[in-house]
Amino acid sequence: MVNETQHTCSASSSSRSDGGSSSGSESSKDNSRCSTPVLDADRHERLREKMRRRQDAGDKWFSLEFFPPRTANAAVNLISRFDRMGAGGPLFIDVTWHPAGDPGSDKETSSMIIANTAVNYCGLETILHMTCCNQTKDDITGHLQKAKRLGLKNIMALRGDPAGEEWEEEVDGFNYAVDLVKHIRSEFDDYFDICVAGYPKGHPEAESYEADLRHLKEKVFAGADFIITQLFFRPETFLKFMKDCQAIGITCPIIPGIFPIQGYHSLRQLVKLSKLEVPQEIKDVIEPIKDNDAAIRNYGVELAVSMCRELLDSGLVHGLHFYTLNREVATTEVLKRLGIWKEDPRRPLPWAVSAHPKRRVEDVRPIFWASRPKSYIYRTQEWDDFPNGRWGNSSSPAFGELKDYYLFYLKSKSPREELLKMWGEELTGEESVFEVFTCYITGEPNRNGYKVTCMPWNDDPLATETNLLKDQLEKVNRRGILTINSQPNINGKPSTDPIVGWGPSGGYVFQKAYLEFFTSSEIVTALLKVLKKYELRVNYHIVNVKGQNITNAPDLQPNAVTWGIFPGREIIQPTVVDPVSFLSWKDEAFALWIEQWAKLYEEESPSRMIIQYIHDNYYLVNLVDNDFPLENCLWQVVEDTFELLN
Amino acid sequence: MVNETQHTCSASSSSRSDGGSSSGSESSKDNSRCSTPVLDADRHERLREKMRRRQDAGDKWFSLEFFPPRTANAAVNLISRFDRMGAGGPLFIDVTWHPAGDPGSDKETSSMIIANTAVNYCGLETILHMTCCNQTKDDITGHLQKAKRLGLKNIMALRGDPAGEEWEEEVDGFNYAVDLVKHIRSEFDDYFDICVAGYPKGHPEAESYEADLRHLKEKVFAGADFIITQLFFRPETFLKFMKDCQAIGITCPIIPGIFPIQGYHSLRQLVKLSKLEVPQEIKDVIEPIKDNDAAIRNYGVELAVSMCRELLDSGLVHGLHFYTLNREVATTEVLKRLGIWKEDPRRPLPWAVSAHPKRRVEDVRPIFWASRPKSYIYRTQEWDDFPNGRWGNSSSPAFGELKDYYLFYLKSKSPREELLKMWGEELTGEESVFEVFTCYITGEPNRNGYKVTCMPWNDDPLATETNLLKDQLEKVNRRGILTINSQPNINGKPSTDPIVGWGPSGGYVFQKAYLEFFTSSEIVTALLKVLKKYELRVNYHIVNVKGQNITNAPDLQPNAVTWGIFPGREIIQPTVVDPVSFLSWKDEAFALWIEQWAKLYEEESPSRMIIQYIHDNYYLVNLVDNDFPLENCLWQVVEDTFELLN
């Protein structure tokens, strides 16, 4: 929104008051008897309510602005950045809209799809920018409908830069942001939260500062819920602007836009686009160090921190909006120094929640996708309602096919060459595969000196929780029990436990031990004999790629393997082992051998044939030890199996 | 069914096979994602499936026949008998139908209402007898519709005794039981399980034994699911009959009707009605002791036990049907000696389940009605669906008004004089009320030497589980904390624990400590101060009869206070403290002071005014200690409160 322009005249007659109390018909559904225990009020509130609640509670917050990337690879990186910066706890992020870049399309780099990914796959409250000038009403309505369908709930309504030099107002067209605000309210009622832009120094094209304030008031009275400002360089600029807004009756939240200077050229570019003037005292510091990026960034961080402090200390500012320019370091540094970066991200549930409104009640998932939550979200995106309270009998839910293993939000962050270094340029047998699994578990470099930081089933290094099982996992992987998912048993740890905790404080969390692995049919034969001894204690499910299927799950019922008991609430059981979903998962788990690993090698090459052999002949096994208060018996099961084999 | 008669000719063309595999459209609903974890397969099966499963598993079972009582008081007693004999684990009970007694009416003594009570309030699988002769098709359809509406699923289809001496067949009328079977199948499809009567010696009115067998086959082929026989005196009578049935192609279960001789006169009466002949060897024993009831009963028990053993040992008999004549002792004795009386009734859930089909998924209830489950069932009988898996946000459910405190299935088993002896002929102040509560807890006689075995809120002596808290409860009741409901905290006891266990074996059960009591406003004021110290640990809800309402329940959410973790299942949380339902419960709890206690005394009498004062001024309080793994802090809360008051 740095290059946003604004209308200079036009009257607004809308009398809609700011941030009304109605929360729309969507949320009233939550009063039915089946609603989820409100684990995290955030999931049930609209953005404007969250802002109000944070303000009432005296909590300071921040938000982050990003622009859509140019390439698919950049999109993959941006999504990792969403995940990392999302961990710091932004109230929302926003994605800008560039009319020239086909922003409403289905391309993986479009504003629409990036915002969709942020909401659905990264679980971030997201504002999608939208400009209106030079667009037809139908185009705009189409974009808004698509945004709604994708689960987007917030729009930043902007005019955008007119095309061509000689721009003229169109009669009945979308000439100004206020027209877009009115259109959204008239076509979509109260569905969207609407944000508009404010100009602390007045819009460069406005007749005057005062005229610009009046136009801002029109936008608010037409239905905008809050204001984010253009960047500025001095805190007093914003504070004066805010008082002036309040003086003419603008009562909605006004969020200052903060631009940490990150480099000489980006600053110049920005200033040119926004027609802002950089104060002399800043120029005086920057000019002498203009070729020293690190020095400029340090200065930019200092400047931003001191300005933010002054704003927050004024008592008038509750949230700060950061123009990140898609970069991580400077903004994160500022936030950490301000103390508003959430250092200890408390998890509302053991897995990352999605922010799509239709998923707001979702609180149960099968454990299988623990390391591939984006794939789970993708494969369940067509569901109309989501398991809530319990998984239930899941003979009905159909998982979407996952044919495209290169969906950009599922794509590995590592390029092919790196994967080959990790997983082996050349495999010599099943044992070299065992070695890769073992190195991933131990964190030790492989025989060529490379650390294995990801696997086809997990694009990230081992989770902290899995580390609890490291020694045992190492031992079994060496011997061909190729683990891809596991959790230890937990018999009532506090919900605030830094490793296994989740949910509100004052609760207790529990887990049944879980182990999932690929292994050879020889080992499976022995395992099945051993499991007879554990029949009443261990639930198992064993399946190969052809679908041969052995389980002792009673009536194919799901088994809750993670649950939490909290003060004043019903029980939450967010993770289950569901025998029916396991069959959908096994297709994906087996396919990853081929799609992610085998295909790294030439066709017919020995390496490829080794992976293909494993894919064709190994079994995927999951084991649950139901006796969570006792010592985990699954290691003993594996030990007994090896003993039987010897 | 001892006086059942049967048709002698008429052909059946129905080809419906016995006990088909379709289980009807009702049960297919259970496949939706929201179904309950199958805790107890019994709840989900029809009677004929239960029979088959028991037979396949080699389990022997029994069933019990009762006739409707003559008076309302007898009905109250019969229902207690259902509860007591139900504990022994009958596969079903059945209720006979006497056309002269208005059997389909809403009177509390009608067959229909007694069967309704057995199913809905006692949770017993129930067969309602129905006779058809001398009735119109509309009458019969009406009875069947009513039975279905009430949750009855099984009909014993009988002809009944024709009225008048000169009975003649009506053309197109219901002349024989087979007509009723056909009618049920044609009007209600497969909804009902149908039982018909078999005559081991042939029906007295039949042309011949062989003709009677053919008529039985017609009834089966018309759609009956199983056969219960008329009583007989020698095991070989039944075994021959069974073989003869099988020889002509009757393959459905045939259950022998067992009549333990309980007295000389009842035997004579029965023999007269059924036109059976008592074998000489039995007459020889009975005649000399005909005035010695105890001796006859002992003989009857011996005879029944030895006959039942022979039947069971034959390998052909899996279930035994007992003609109880509404008496308890002889039948229970026979069952115990046969070893098929369930000595250790494993509870599928902590509370007694109802057998109405629409409640088959029900697995969550508020704790408040723990001692008044029949009242809970009554007040929720209009609900269309029942909480399953979780209570959820219960702002919607409306509890039925409970105006009639004398509904016969809620009526106290003790008459007024007895209640006065227990609760005091004359009260001298609030302290005499404290004493009554204390005596109920301790089991010690009151000052007049009477034990207090029931209270307005609980018609039974203290539950075994509550006994765990006896010392503490005694102490607080003495001081005016008048407890009406409580449970200790449990941190993972085996589900097979004889006192607190429930659900399938191999699981673990948990509880949060709960305490519910009436107390004065003075104590409440101190309590509220003390509770501030326990704010994060204890949830409380305090309300008086006027509805003044103080709670710290977050968002009025329910709090799960009993739950169980089982192998291969989702978590079951059968009991919650729901702040919304508590307001419906408090109306009932306060009204019981007046309806059950105050009204024992003259209007304006001091005793009555004392109870009225308590009703008007006391508060009803519930407390939950959320920290179930720690020592229950609720006693400390009460202790602190008394300390503050001193």
Specify whether A609 is located in the same domain as A464. yes
Residue contact B569–A557, C-beta within 8 A: yes
**Segment among A42-51, A514-523, B23-32, B79-88 with least mean pLDDT:** B23-32
Residue located via tokens 């679980």: A123
Whether A23 is in a domain gets the answer no
Residue contact B537–A506, C-beta within 8 A: yes
* A-chain residue closest to B623, CA distance: A568
> Does A456 score more than 50 pLDDT?
yes
* B392 touching chain A per CB within 8 A: yes
Specify whether B426 is located in the same domain as B531. yes
Q: Which long-range contacts (CB under 8 A, 24 or more apart) does A237-245 make?
A: A237/A200, A237/A201, A238/A200, A238/A311, A238/A317, A239/A311, A239/A314, A239/A316, A240/A200, A241/A198, A241/A199, A241/A200, A241/A201, A242/A316, A242/A317, A244/A209, A244/A213, A245/A198, A245/A213, A245/A216, A245/A217
Write down the pLDDT at residue B269. 85
Over residues A591-603, mean pLDDT: 95
Whether B129 is in a domain gets the answer yes
Pairing label, strands B549-551, B538-544: antiparallel
Whether A18 is in a domain gets the answer no
Specify whether A312 is located in the same domain as A402. no
Token code pair at residue A203: 């819009």
* B-chain residue closest to A391, CA distance: B33
Give me the helices (H) in B327-415, please. 329-338, 373-379
Q: Testing the interface with B: which of A489, A565, A566, A630 to mutate, by most B Cβ within 10 A?
A: A565
Whether B65 is in a domain gets the answer yes
Q: pLDDT band for A433, please (50, 70, 90 cuts).
A: very high
Specify whether A311 is located in the same domain as A214. yes
* A-chain residue closest to B505, CA distance: A536
* B-chain residue closest to A625, CA distance: B567
Chain B residues with CB-CB distance to A31 below 8 A: 393, 395-396
Specify whether A331 is located in the same domain as A444. no
Q: Which residues have CB under 8 Å from A620's CB, separation 6+? A: A516, A517, A518, A542, A543, A544, A586, A589, A590
Specify whether B192 is located in the same domain as B65. yes
CB neighbours (10 Å) of residue A430?
17
Specify whether B331 is located in the same domain as B371. no
* A-chain residue closest to B493, CA distance: A629
DSSP secondary structure of B531-560: HHHTTTTEEEEEEETT--EEE--GGG--EE
Residue numbers of the domain that contains A460: 365-645
Specify whether B420 is located in the same domain as B501. yes
Specify whether B456 is located in the same domain as B548. yes
| Cβ pair A506, B536 in contact under 8 A | yes
Greatest alpha-carbon pair distance for chain B in Å reads 88
Domain final residue, candidates B338, B355, B373 = B338
Write down the pLDDT at residue A353. 85
Token code pair at residue B189: 């499809």
Whether A25 is in a domain gets the answer no
CA distances from B156 to B38, B187, B226, B356 (A): 28, 16, 9, 18
pLDDT tens-place string over residues A82-104: 999 998 999 999 999 998 889 99
* Mean pLDDT of chain A, nearest integer: 88
Of the candidates A352, A353, A354, A357, the one whose C-alpha atom is nearest the C-alpha of residue A44 is A357
Of the candidates A418, A440, A436, the one whose C-alpha atom is nearest the C-alpha of residue A427 is A436
Whether B444 is in a domain gets the answer yes
pLDDT tens-place string over residues A281-298: 999 999 899 889 899 999
Q: pLDDT band for A241, please (50, 70, 90 cuts).
A: very high
Scanning B16-35 for CB atoms below 8 A from A yields 30-35
pTM of the predicted structure, to 2 decimals: 0.85
Specify whether B477 is located in the same domain as B442. yes
What does the alpha-carbon distance between residue A319 and residue A228 come to, in Å, rounded to a whole number? 10
pLDDT tens-place string over residues A139-196: 999 999 999 999 999 999 999 876 655 556 666 778 889 999 999 999 999 999 999 9
B572: β partners = B564
What does the alpha-carbon distance between residue B357 and residue B120 come to, in Å, rounded to a whole number? 9
Whether A355 is in a domain gets the answer no
Amino acid present at A360: R
Of the candidates A18, A10, A606, A40, the one whose C-alpha atom is nearest the C-alpha of residue A359 is A40
If phi > 0 it is left, if psi is from -120 to 50 it is alpha, else beta; for residue A398 that is beta
Residue contact B552–A558, C-beta within 8 A: no
* B45 touching chain A per CB within 8 A: no
Specify whether B334 is located in the same domain as B370. no
Whether B273 is in a domain gets the answer no
Write down the pLDDT at residue B268. 87
Catalytic residue from among B4, B49, B65, B588: B65
> Does A515 score more than 80 pLDDT?
yes
CA-CA-CA-CA torsion sign (B289, B292, B293, B298): negative
CB neighbours (10 Å) of residue A603?
9
Residue contact A573–B570, C-beta within 8 A: yes
Catalytic residue from among A4, A65, A218, A474: A65
Residue contact A554–B568, C-beta within 8 A: yes
Residue contact A390–B34, C-beta within 8 A: yes
Residue contact B568–A560, C-beta within 8 A: no
> Does A28 score more than 50 pLDDT?
no
| Cβ pair A39, A504 in contact under 8 A | yes
Write down the pLDDT at residue A402. 78
Write down the pLDDT at residue B4. 37
Is residue B236 among the annotated active site residues?
Answer: no
Write down the pLDDT at residue B36. 39
Secondary structure in 3-state letters for A82-135: HHHHHCCCCCEEEECCCHHHCCCCCCCCCHHHHHHHHHHCCCCCEEEEEECCCC
What does the alpha-carbon distance between residue B320 and residue B323 come to, in Å, rounded to a whole number? 10
* A384 touching chain B per CB within 8 A: no
CA distances from A561 to A361, A364, A576, A578, B556 (A): 20, 11, 5, 10, 28
In the three-class reduction of DSSP (H, G, I as helix; E, B as strand; rest coil), residue B62 is classed as: strand
What is the domain count for chain A?
Answer: 2
Residue numbers in chain B where pLDDT is lower than 50: 1-38
Over residues A512-540, mean pLDDT: 96
Specify whether B328 is located in the same domain as B387. no
What does the alpha-carbon distance between residue A190 and residue A185 come to, in Å, rounded to a whole number? 6
Highest mean pLDDT pick, A303-312, A403-412, B11-20: A303-312
CA-CA-CA-CA torsion sign (A156, A157, A163, A165): negative
Over residues A375-390, mean pLDDT: 89
* B492 touching chain A per CB within 8 A: yes
DSSP secondary structure of A160-221: -PPSSSS--PPTTS--SHHHHHHHHHHHHTTSSEEEEEE-TT--TTSS-HHHHHHHHHHHHH
Scanning B558-597 for CB atoms below 8 A from A yields 558-560, 563, 565-571, 573, 576
Pairing label, strands B508-511, B490-494: antiparallel
Token code pair at residue B218: 């017609």
Which H or E run includes A285?
helix A280-286
Chain B residues with CB-CB distance to A553 below 8 A: 568
| Cβ pair A575, A351 in contact under 8 A | yes
Domain of residue B238, CATH code: 3.20.20.220
Structure letter (DSSP) for residue B122: T
Chain B residues with CB-CB distance to A392 below 8 A: 32-35, 389, 570
Identity of the residue in B506, B559, B560 whose CB atom sits nearest the CB atom of A626: B506
Domain final residue, candidates A303, A323, A338 = A338
Of the candidates A118, A51, A53, A93, the one whose C-alpha atom is nearest the C-alpha of residue A319 is A51
Residue contact A568–B559, C-beta within 8 A: yes
